[in-house]
Structure formats: structure tokens, C-alpha cells
Structure 1
Amino acid sequence: MNDAITAAWRRAAGHQRRFDARFATYLDALTDPASSSLEIPRHGTFPARALQLVRELSLRGGKRLRVTLLHEAAALVTDGSVPGLDEAAISIELLQTHGLIHDDIIDDAPTRRGGPSTYYAYRQDFPDRPGTALALAVLAGDLAAFLAGRVLLTGALPPDRALAMAAVQADAAAATVAGQLLDLERDFHPAPDIELLHEVTEYKSTRYSILAPLRLGLLAAGADLAPHDAELRRYATALGIANQIHDDWLDLFGDPESLGKPVGSDIRSGRRSYVVRALLAVCDTGERKLLDAALGAPDCEADTLDRIRDIARAHGIDRQLRADAERYARQAAARTATWRERWRPDAVAFFEHMPAWSVTRER
């Protein structure tokens, strides 16, 4: 890892540490009945339990890439303190919590970020009532989504700026749901083409994980988005594809301890990821039979995954996907070539080197 990438990683780690402390303070206050500004029913335990599970999953970590991009986007404009960044960061991470809760329901995933998924936490709470567990998990995810909007609209931002930022967030949330729908449709295609995979990536993750933080950070800093939105989109699209290819690579070739979840979830759920698409394109008859039997099999055994991993390596898929991720990362970095003409050089340098860091991470 060269010095520039290391510097980007350190900046990202600094944002993560500061945000995690701020996020914990916010969620602790929200879940404390004595101090919470959120009105919840006084009777019953289900509302408080939902808040508790949203808090637990939210604070269990993650890369906080959205938080980093948000702060660095504001730093493009100013090196001073920017009101509203904390609220925007909390909002975007609560939207992430919403997405994770619902993803884990869809995928029937038992773990997330090194602990039980919200869905499986409810299944442990209600082992004899699976319908109730499912309903409560859906509602907990919905709660996280509505809290994400609330934090922007109830903070100290000027009303016009709060509305503009909430509109960005709402657009990102709607795009993400559309992407999730397309993600489910994708898996009905035996071998989806690459453009479909790119569009799933664009809507399911890029719009809210990269483009929305860029827009929110610039808006918070008082910038006018209109002259720059097209180039921000191009940067986000290339970085989003690089990130997703790397995520798919990690799902088969990564370290479970670093990831905080088992590898092979894409194969077990039958997801036609970038890795699975590449496998389908090169497998011979015997290899295809093994892969077809594993795809969509939740109880697929570890030794079967090991054999599929060996097949992928024998065909060079691990190397090819890493090369593809790096190529898109370079495309994203190249999009920053003209940014120094109008924005602060140290923040531009971060965005120039961030893509390379994003495809070398271990989780």
C-alpha cells in the first residue's frame, strides 16, 4: 500500500472513530426514555426492543465509507466546521441500517457485522412465532428508515438546507428500494449480462452509498450541486462498480473473521453476483453441475464452497475480478482530474486515492 493510499485510509479511519462516538451518543439519547426526543408508547416492550436492535446493529461497525465521503465532500469546499454534517452522517448510516435489516430478511442471513442479524435476533426472541419475528424485523427496518429522515429535519440546519438534504436522502432511499427489486429480478436470469449487474449496483448501493454522501456533504458546505452533478455521478458510478466487484470477491475469497460474517453467502442465496456470473461463463459440465447444486442452497457445506473457490482460482476468476475492480477504481480516480481547478487540493487528493484504497480493504 503506497503512502497516498495509506493517508486516505488514515483519514477514513479518523472519520470513523469520530463518527462512532457521535453516533453512540445520539443513539443512547434516542433509546433513553428519560431524555429521548422521540415519542414512543409507554406501554409494552416491542417499540423499545426495536429501537434497541436498531441501535445494536448500527453501532456494530462497518466501513463507514458513506461517513468518510460525506465529510470529505464538505472539505472540497471548506476546511472549517460545517453545521449539519453530523446529522447527515447519522442519517445516511441509519438508512444503511434499514437496508441491512431488510437485506438480512430477504437473504435469511443469521449474522451481520459479527453478531446476530436483526431478523435472527427476533427469531431467538420468538422461536415459536416465525411470522411475528418476520413482522417485527420488517418494522425495525422501517423504523431505521424513518429515523434517517427525521434526524435531518429535526436538527439545527436552516430550513431550506434541511429540505434540500432530506430530498437527496429520500431520492437515495427510493433508488435503493428500486435497486433491491431489480436485485431480486436479476436472480431469475440464469446468467445476467454485465450491464444488468452494473445497473443493480448503481441503484442498490451506489446512489445511497457514494452519490448521496457526496451531494449531502457539498450541500451542507453551501455548494451549488447543479454545475457538478454529472461529474459526481460519473465518479460515483465507477467507484460503486469497483466497490461491488471487490465486495463480491470478498464474499468468496475473503476472510470470515475480517468480514464479520461467513463467506459464500452469495452462492448460498443464489445471488448472481459478479463472481457467480464469471463462474457461470467458464465452468465445464462437471463444474457447472456442482455450482448449480450449490446456488440457492442455504445448507451448502463448507467443503463444497472450498471446491467452488478452487474452481474459480483455477480459471483465474479471482485475479480477473481483482483486475476489474482496480480498473474501475482507476476510472473513478481519473474523474478527479479537473477538480483541483475549483476545489481544495487536499480533499481532491483524498478522492483521487480513495478508489485504490476501497479495492484493497479486507472487509
Structure 2
Amino acid sequence: MPAETETGVRDRLTAHRDRFDARFADYFDTVAHQLSPLGSFAPEALALVRDMSLRGGKRLRVALLYEAARLVTSEAVAGLEEAALSVELLQTHGLIHDDIVDDSPVRRGAPSVYYAYRERFADRPQTALGLAVLAGDLAAFLSVRVLLTAPVPGELRQAMAAVQATVGADTVVGQFLDLERDFGPLPDRALLDLVSEYKSARYSVLAPLRLGLLAAGADPAAHEGELARYATLVGIGGQMCDDYLDLFGDADATGRAAGSDLRAGRRSYAVCAVLAAATGPERELVESALADPGCPAGTVEQVRGLAGRHGVDARMRADIRRTAEEAAAIAAGWRPRWRAEAVDFFERLPLWAARRAR
């Protein structure tokens, strides 16, 4: 991808993020005012949700939402800001519950909501767990409520809320699939893709596409097949990139030590590819490291080395590139019916994202 094209995608993402973050902070101020008379636990939960929500993130979902509306019109679109709040609140819900399921102490460079409660209620762990679950639930229900109070006709509000409720349920199913993946026989590629589709692609890509088109007055159902295929490919490609970087990435660039999926026992795309390629003693080495939180860095390096000898890293990079190119080709096919500027964004985005796996 030419450097100017990569810069263009990054600049569009940054512009959407900066605009949205100010609106997100204002939204939390409004909800905090509503909750302030209602004891101390609910306002404290909202403060933790707010802190984690505003602490980081690329706001890719927000960008996809706004660019989906721009496929139809360059004019301001009513209800789009509420839809953006909704997709990010649903993301916050998922992160809070992810950290509970994974027992993760840190999220975006600070204590996770779960661990913030564990510190606050060190002598009452069940209370800490319950409050963390409720904080995640609060984010989920706010995600639907903000759509149901959007300044748009009632029929549109209902349609947008239905999108979010549906993908919220799909994401929970994805969490079940994600946990089940790590039990039983080594999962095949079809199962890995299914986990990526349900746990990520449907709410991170497909829902913003649907919401943006709906708000702009288009009918996403008329293009459901290609929208779903694009979203699934982008979601799979993004997950493969994450899994690749977890095992093969430069720790200085990623900000984390290699092999966290391996140590946690996650049968990621990368871990499954290494297990499938390894033979004899090599497989024993990988399995000895799998689900061992104390697995030393030297063992991870051995796993990385055998993966390189079998060409696992090169094959993953090629697969990520092919997935991105297929998604880009689908988006290019939108050019005859939708605005070229926004189509360009959707065509370039998968290729830009794939460049992380280098």
C-alpha cells in the first residue's frame, strides 16, 4: 500500500476518534448526573466504566459507523452520534466481561474494572466479582438505551436497537465458542473463523456498517450478504494479526512480551498453526508451554524458532494478506452504487490493518 494511502486511512481514523472522544466524555457527564442521587455504588460503577472507556482504543467501530453513513451521504446524519455511543458502550461491556472471564488485572495500561473492585473490596471477593459483572451489564444496557432515546423516528430507533441487541447476543455466543475452542481436539480453521466471526466481526464491523447505513436512510438488508462477508473477512484478518503479533511480534512494538496466548492456553490461529506443524518432540515442547503461566521466555523463543523453521510465520502473513485483499475486493465492488470517497476507505482499511503483521 502506498505511504500516502496508509496515511489517509490513519488520518481518517484519528479524526473520527478525536471528535467522538469529546462526545463520549459529555455523554458520561450526563449519565453521571442522572445517577448521582442513587447511592454510591452505581455512580462508582459508572466512573469505572467511563475511565476504561475513555482510556484508549482506536475507535475503529466509530470510524466504520461514520464512513458507512458517508457511503450514502456527505451531509450530517441524525442518530449517528447515538449509534457511535452505542457501539463503544457495547465494546466496553465486552472488555469488562472479558477481563472477568480471563482474570485479567490490566486493561489499556491501568487496572481492569474487575481488579479495581478486587482492590477496593479485598476482603469481599464475591462482592468485587458481582460489582464488576454489574458494571459490564450497565454498559450493555446503556448501549441499547442510548439508541432508544436517539432524536430519530421511532421506527429507525427500533431498527437500530434491534441491530445492537442481536449482535450483543451473538457476541456472548462468541465468548462461549472462544472458551470451548480451548477444550477437546485441536480446532480446525472453520472453528477458528467461526469464533472470530461471532466474538468480534459481527459487533465490531457488521453492526457499525448496518447502523451507519440505517441512519443514512439506506436498507442494509438489501446488501446483507456482501456486508456480512466483508465484516467476517475484516474480523478474521484482525484476529489473525493479533494472534500473529502475540507470538511473532516485536515486544518493543507491541508493548507486551511474546507468548501470552500460549501461556494462557488459548488455541489461537498462531498456536494452532504451530501445533499442526510441529512433530514429535517439537509438539511436546509446544504442549508443555500451553496453559503454563510460568512458561519462561526461553521456551517461548524455542516455540517461535520451530514455528519459523516450519514456515508458520510466513504462511500466516500470506494468509492475512490474502484475507485483506479479498475484503478489499468486496468493498471495491460497492463503487458503482455508493460514494467513491467512502468506498475508498473501506477498500483500503483491510490492507492498512494487515500491515501490522510484518
TM-score of the aligned structures, taking structure 1 as reference length:
0.93
The CA deviation at 1:261 is 5.2
The CA deviation at 1:212 is 0.3
| Corresponding position of 1:289 | 284
Separation (CA, whole Å) in 2 of partners of 1:289 and 1:324: 26
| Corresponding position of 2:26 | 25
CA gap 1:264/1:132 in 2 versus in 1, 3 angstroms: farther
| Corresponding position of 1:223 | 218
**Letter of the 2:53 counterpart:** S
1:128-173 deviation per Cα after TM superposition (whole angstroms, max 9, x unaligned): 3222222211111111111111111122122111111000011110
Aligned with 2:38 (options 37, 42, 52): 42
**Letter of the 1:13 counterpart:** T
* 1:67 corresponds to 2:62: yes
| Corresponding position of 1:111 | 106
- What does 1:1-363 correspond to in 2, within 5 Å? 1-2=1-2, 3-31=4-32, 36=33, 38-39=34-35, 42-43=38-39, 45-256=40-251, 259=254, 263-361=258-356
Whether contact under 8 Å (2:246, 2:260) holds in the other structure is yes
The CA deviation at 1:259 is 4.6
Separation (CA, whole Å) in 2 of partners of 1:24 and 1:260: 27
The CA deviation at 1:303 is 3.2
The CA deviation at 1:126 is 2.0
CA gap 1:107/1:17 in 2 versus in 1, 3 angstroms: same
Separation (CA, whole Å) in 2 of partners of 1:97 and 1:232: 24
The CA deviation at 1:72 is 0.4
1:246-268 deviation per Cα after TM superposition (whole angstroms, max 9, x unaligned): 11112223355655655433222
Separation (CA, whole Å) in 2 of partners of 1:216 and 1:244: 23
Whether contact under 8 Å (1:111, 1:261) holds in the other structure is no
Q: CA RMSD in A?
A: 1.8
CA gap 1:41/1:190 in 2 versus in 1, 3 angstroms: farther
Whether contact under 8 Å (1:114, 1:261) holds in the other structure is no
CA gap 1:118/1:258 in 2 versus in 1, 3 angstroms: farther
**Letter of the 1:343 counterpart:** W
Separation (CA, whole Å) in 2 of partners of 1:188 and 1:194: 15
CA gap 1:126/1:254 in 2 versus in 1, 3 angstroms: farther
Separation (CA, whole Å) in 1 of partners of 2:90 and 2:252: 25
1:190-212 deviation per Cα after TM superposition (whole angstroms, max 9, x unaligned): 31010011111111111000000
TM-score of the aligned structures, taking structure 2 as reference length:
0.94
Separation (CA, whole Å) in 2 of partners of 1:262 and 1:142: 31
Whether contact under 8 Å (1:41, 1:47) holds in the other structure is no
Whether contact under 8 Å (2:62, 2:84) holds in the other structure is yes
- Of structures 1 and 2, the one with the larger relative CO (CA 8 A, separation 6+) is 1
1:237-288 deviation per Cα after TM superposition (whole angstroms, max 9, x unaligned): 1111111111111222335565565543322221111011101111233332
**Structure 2 unaligned runs (5+)?**
none
CA gap 1:269/1:241 in 2 versus in 1, 3 angstroms: same
Separation (CA, whole Å) in 2 of partners of 1:237 and 1:191: 22
The CA deviation at 1:338 is 2.6
1:191-234 deviation per Cα after TM superposition (whole angstroms, max 9, x unaligned): 10100111111111110000000000000101112221111111
281-290 or 348-357: which moved more?
A: 281-290
